Structure 1
Amino acid sequence: MALTQAQSLSSEILSIVNTIALGKRCYIFDMITHEPGNVSLSMVNPDLCDDSNLSYKQKKVIIALPTGCYIAYSGLLFYGFENMIATCGSNFEFRNGITVKNIFWTQNTPEANTYSWKPHGIAVSKFKSHVLFCLWNQKFRQQSIGKVMKIRTEKNGVPNNRTCIEIQSDKNTPLYVCPTYIAENGNGDICVSDVRAVVVTDAGGLLRFRYEGNSSKSNFDPYGICCDSSCNIIVADMKNDKIHMVDKDGEFLHHVTYEGIKMPRALSIDSNDHVYVGEWDSDSIKIISR
């Protein structure tokens, strides 16, 4: 009991080791880290179709989308658009708005007449062998459900739809309400931020655990998610101005904070376990580390 109380109060203050200036305040929606120290961003800022104020001269921002869509990267940029996942090769395809040219996945399921699945978070396997993404049925309250798709890829990101896993329920109980962001852990687990919970399944889709915050009184509100080299799960608790660190078995380790933390939304991590934080209203990306 004492250990649980101590854990619920623990917090680790990390240093801001670097920042990426954006030139104007932005609502960061999703983010990808590229080596060495670069990012691609998705923002909810219609005026950023003119991206001349972003820091491209510093070559820190590779691709910036003013569309508020979910993104992932593996040589190609994967992005969600309407009821499909598409790919592109460069930022220039977005200068005049999105024009879908290469469709990776689109809705074609028996549920199509019942649900219009909307893609949410996207992740590329650490081994680049498959793409994971969340789908939501665009209904609310008790009717809201979601699922995760895992599609094996061939060369150049071409989907092999014959090798596909759908993850939706555990013993006939729905796993997801509105799955939002997704990450693959180093042990192959699939980690998804959902309504008031992080849902973790193994690589085959069997439920391992649900993490619902570190206190029964917490108003846990998870968004961006990533995993470090020790298979710890790092999740942004945006509305509570916190970042949670959870181990690979779902045990709360501590909160991560840094000076001035406010509404962390998008998270990404590099090979040195530096965590990149995109806040919901900020003029820079914070890079934090021990």
Structure 2
Amino acid sequence: MALTQAQSISSEVYRIVDTISLGQRYYIFDMITHASGHVSLSMINPDLYDDSNLSYKQKKVYVALPTGCYIANAPYGVLFYGIENMIATYGSYDEFKRGITVNNIFWTQNTPESNTYSWKPHGIAFSKYHLLVCLWNQKFRQQSIGKVMKIRTEKNGVPNNRTCIEIQSDKNTPLYVCPTYIVENGNGDICVSDVRAVVVTDAGGMLRFRYEGNSCKSNFDPYGICCDSSCNIIVADMKNDKIHMVDKDGEFLHHVTYEGIRMPRALSIDSNDHVYVGEWDSDSIKIISR
């Protein structure tokens, strides 16, 4: 009884203030919220290659990529996506279907260590003049490691081909196992969803804290991540049907829940702190608020 009461107290029910219908069920992989209230999506659904199934284009969806790739939107309005060992820019759906060309490659692996590891880009996000990239070495179990890169960009979005900083270890201990989603907090911290933990470093790459769930018995499994205007960190715990709210110093605040919550995967947030939730296998995007 006491445990049930404690869990209830630690949860806060949010309202579903709006939904974005997708016309049919999709596996939502990643999501961007635009200032207009529209979204861009990355889904895992091969049917999206058939333009006759793009009924969502009449709704509030700008772009929906069908490959389950990570996506980010630059301040100057260009959509970026990660695929294979590259990050490319998106021009049009037809261009995307034709594949990556030399004209839209933003970054590709070209380092001396590429003979040792084949780094695969996962989550990507933008700060003011940097692209933040999660990279994984495509190995498993004890050999799996990751890192975060901050790539300097110019105002027009052209990379200057210089990695400003690589974040990989703390006191010779690897920080990441397989980093997936990433976001820059309002205080400059870099927040990363990793295996069983959210890893938070400062802007220079120094470890601030690891958040591993709010219970020693929890099977925390973080995915999509965003931050609100108070610098609280909001993370989707997909396999446990939960969303965690953590403050900027790593203290658990509460679980966010809403009616019918099921497998939240992708998260984004707008300027009013409305959280957009893309669930795994859903026919709509839920927009929730306190």
* TM-score interval, smaller chain: over 0.9
Match of 2:87 in 1: 85
CA distance in 2, matches of 1:138, 1:176: 13
Partner secondary structure for residue 250 of structure 1: coil
CA deviation digits over 1:61-98, x for unaligned, max 9? Answer: 1011001100001211110010011112333422x343
Match of 1:54 in 2: 55
Percent identity for Structure 1 against Structure 2: 84
Task: List runs of 5+ in structure 1 lacking aligned partners.
Answer: none
Superposed, 1:34-113 pairs within 5 Å as 34-52=34-52, 53-58=54-59, 60-74=60-74, 75-94=77-96, 96-100=97-101, 101-113=103-115
Match of 1:177 in 2: 177
Match of 1:142 in 2: 142
Deviates more, 1:26-35 or 1:81-90: 81-90
Match of 2:116 in 1: 114
Following TM superposition, the consecutive aligned residue runs of length 4 or more in structure 1 with deviations greater than 6 angstroms are none
CA distance in 2, matches of 1:229, 1:13: 19
Match of 1:186 in 2: 186
Give the root-mean-square deviation of aligned CA atoms: 1.6
State the 1:6 CA deviation.
4.9
CA distance in 2, matches of 1:184, 1:87: 20
CA distance in 2, matches of 1:124, 1:157: 11
Match of 1:280 in 2: 280
CA distance in 2, matches of 1:249, 1:11: 19
On the 8 A contact 1:14/1:258 being kept in 2, the answer is: yes
One-letter identity of the residue aligned with 2:29: F
One-letter identity of the residue aligned with 1:102: N
One-letter identity of the residue aligned with 1:44: I
On the 8 A contact 1:16/1:289 being kept in 2, the answer is: yes
Partner secondary structure for residue 281 of structure 1: strand
Partner secondary structure for residue 55 of structure 2: coil
CA distance in 1, matches of 2:32, 2:156: 19
CA distance in 2, matches of 1:218, 1:41: 29
Match of 1:33 in 2: 33
One-letter identity of the residue aligned with 1:55: Y
Task: List runs of 5+ in structure 2 lacking aligned partners.
Answer: none
Superposed, 1:256-267 pairs within 5 Å as 256-267=256-267
State the 1:163 CA deviation.
5.1
Partner secondary structure for residue 285 of structure 1: strand
State the 1:213 CA deviation.
0.1
CA distance in 1, matches of 2:82, 2:192: 16
CA distance in 1, matches of 2:98, 2:38: 23
Partner secondary structure for residue 114 of structure 2: helix
| Alpha-carbon distance change, 97 to 267 in structure 1, aligned in 2, over 3 angstroms | farther
Q: TM-score, normalization: structure 2?
A: 0.94
Q: TM-score, normalization: structure 1?
A: 0.94
Count of residue pairs brought into register by the alignment: 283
